[in-house]
Amino acid sequence: MNSNEKPEENEKNDSQGNSSTGLSNSPKEDKQNLELKDGQLKTEDSVSKPSVPKELNIIKVGTNDITLSWSKVSQAVSYNIYRSLSKDGKYVRIDTPKGTSYTDKGLMPSTKYWYEISAINSSGEGNFSSIISSITKEKVKNKIGNTSANINNEGYTAVQGDWIYYQNWGSEPQGMLHKIKTNGTQDQKVQ
């Protein structure tokens, strides 16, 4: 810039040649205002990308859900949760919760799922956590019916309201139907 030109509207120079952007007019001096932190070039007032989430654990496993937890990452505003069906497969982001636990719902029974997470802040997404996996529980075959239509179901039980219907296969003729309150009282023959 020659002495007849004015500085641009959004950049004003002070008496020492520094601009209002925080950088001097000298490229050599600008490099001194930057520092290398965690392998990333940062200015003095910028925020680093968040560190790696630690202590990733499976805290609960159900037939159709898995609950994860991890340690809070300083300066993280949320976390990306990634899931895969194989350790070396493609991981797909499934959610971005703000807290340090997450329940992955709607899963298939008896299926192995792999997870990794990353923290997010205003500088972007940090590196991935270690990978963790779990197998959802096996679906239990339902021997207890849930309507009056299947009360007489091969000697098993059925629940309707606060009554449990069952067949006593021991000492009585086959198919003798009983009902008992769910609290264990009022055992009665139905047929």
Domains of the chain: 57-135 (2.60.40.10), 144-189 (no CATH)
Count of Cβ atoms closer than 10 Å to residue 46 Cβ: 13
- Per-residue pLDDT at 141 exceeds 90: no
**pLDDT given for residue 183 in this prediction:** 72
Q: Say which amino acid occupies 20.
A: S
Model confidence at 171, pLDDT cuts 50, 70, 90, reads: low
The pLDDT tens digits for 97-122 are 999 999 999 999 999 999 999 999 99
- Identify the pLDDT of residue 160: 75
In Å, the largest CA–CA distance within the chain is 112
CB-based contact 137:63 (threshold 8 Å): yes
Residues 68, 74, 76, CA angle at the centre, nearest 5°?
65
- Residue 8 and residue 76: Cα distance in Å, rounded? 37
Residue 118 CA to residue 80 CA, distance in Å, equals: 5
Question: According to the model, what pLDDT value does residue 147 have?
Answer: 42
For 24-74, what is each residue's pLDDT tens digit?
Answer: 444 444 444 445 555 554 545 578 999 999 999 999 999 899 999 999 999
> Rounded to two decimals, what is the model's pTM?
0.54
- Higher-confidence residue of 92 and 138: namely 92
pLDDT tens per residue across span 74-101: 999 999 999 999 999 999 999 999 999 9
